Structure 1
């Protein structure tokens, strides 16, 4: 398994991987979690996909996309502040230039069990390491995200605990929480699974662009 990063200027180079990613998001968010998300024949999309994010994908040796996440500058437009501001204790994110937002994180739940440290799935650990490494390489030291209580526990088991930015709230059929994660060498070393392949060699130091 390896990490692939796809910044906006490389979308055209990876149409198959991006198509797999959107289908995976549909299968997980609509099919498994039953979230109220927009799904078409091509997969799951939302308005934040229009803001030129960088996508982080975990890919198997047979070129199957098994996990993904989306990264955008937290200075906006950011999903947490615009769509889920009720999760923020102050109602505002107060983002800095060194903060990036991770959203639409998901892992293929049909994968055969492959556990790493803390009994966390190998694909999940690989994604955590890829997100941290990419963030550090691009000048970010904080990662903000909204997730649910179950995933908050997974982060803790992986050795990457989240600092809450507000109280848990019911959104749809889940109990959601917002939090801040460090992007630093210590966190990277804790979550990195054995055999992890660095993403740095594939990165041409892209800028995360927003619609601002």
Structure 2
């Protein structure tokens, strides 16, 4: 049975085994399969957006990792030395992430408040686990005052989210990133209406 969990600073210790599986899966997918230039130390992938205020949505089935996503509030600010880090799309648009083109936000405003959260490092092994993942993320974010998410992901994920019932629009032209075309996108939070019967995986 698919079970969705929101993991934050308060309950992270109880789900360390699932987080370890997630970081290993991220290494295999984003660096290994997709060829993204991401911070990594084999066999895990972590970066500056995996921090104390990060929230992870994980879907598991009997301890097996089925889907995951990373959530960071667009109001978040973290200082590492003299460098301020906010959320990935904004930092890329500011030219602080050389591996991601700085023009990825051409068609969107850069949100600054907690009404928008960034959703990144998303993967699902099936349509059903993706549906559960977004339903849990949707509920968590609505409960925390959010109304939308922003992301930089594969371009075809815009269509996947719209088919799931989450209104999503592109915020930039497609750019080559790793082995796939990607773009910025904005998704409005609401209850999902439909889901494709085919399996999907997304960033």
Is 1:190 aligned with 2:193?
A: yes
Q: Do 2:166 and 2:192's aligned partners in 1 also have CA atoms closer than 8 Å? A: no
Q: Which has the higher helix share?
A: 1
Structural mapping, 1:23-172, within 5 Å: 23-60=24-61, 62-76=62-76, 77-84=86-93, 85-89=102-106, 93-108=110-125, 121-172=127-178
Determine the structure 2 residue equivalent to 1:198: none
Partner-residue secondary structure (3-state), 1:95: coil
> How big is the alpha-carbon RMSD for the aligned residues of Structure 1 and Structure 2?
2.1
Partner-residue secondary structure (3-state), 1:86: coil
Q: Do 2:119 and 2:149's aligned partners in 1 also have CA atoms closer than 8 Å? A: yes
Distance 1:124 1:176 in 2: 19
Q: Do 1:81 and 1:92's aligned partners in 2 also have CA atoms closer than 8 Å? A: no
Q: Do 1:136 and 1:183's aligned partners in 2 also have CA atoms closer than 8 Å? A: yes
TM-score normalised by L of structure 2 = 0.79
Distance 1:149 1:50, change over 3 A: same
Q: Which has the higher strand share?
A: 2
Distance 1:90 1:125 in 2: 27
Distance 1:191 1:80, change over 3 A: farther
Q: Structure 1 residue 90: deviation in Å?
A: 6.1
Distance 1:181 1:7 in 2: 22
Distance 1:97 1:52, change over 3 A: closer
Distance 2:4 2:25 in 1: 16
The structure whose RCO (Cα within 8 Å, separation 6+) is larger is 1
Q: Do 2:148 and 2:186's aligned partners in 1 also have CA atoms closer than 8 Å? A: yes
1:97-119 deviation per Cα after TM superposition (whole angstroms, max 9, x unaligned):
311111111124xxxxx5xxxxx
Distance 1:189 1:94, change over 3 A: closer
